[in-house]
Amino acid sequence: MAIEVRYDHTPNPNAVKFTANQVVFEGTGSYSFKQGEDANHPLAAALLDIEGVDNVFGYQDFVTVNKKADADWDTLIPNVKEAFQKIYG
């Protein structure tokens, strides 16, 4: 089954929540990765490679992406969706 991803804006203008139709972070714990850290999760690593992404927080079927202040969601959102497709296609 191909992955489907929807996104929702949050009260924080620098954060957007992306929810998938399947589990992308296994287990019961949450995951948090910051720019410059060695992300040991393929989706987190792909997201942190996107210019303008500052950090990511993941739990089961969703990930919240936080952007740098000068980044633009109109550019980032398609790149984030593309990262999901590359990893989970």
Per-residue pLDDT tens over the stretch 21-62: 999 999 999 999 999 888 899 999 999 999 999 999 999 999
Amino acid 1: pLDDT: 67
Amino acid 89: pLDDT: 82
* pLDDT tens digits, 58-83: 999 999 999 999 999 999 999 999 99
Q: How far apart are the first and last CA of the chain?
A: 8
Domain 5-51+60-88 CATH class label = alpha beta
In angstroms, what CA-CA distances link 34 with 4, 51, 53, 73? 25, 13, 9, 18
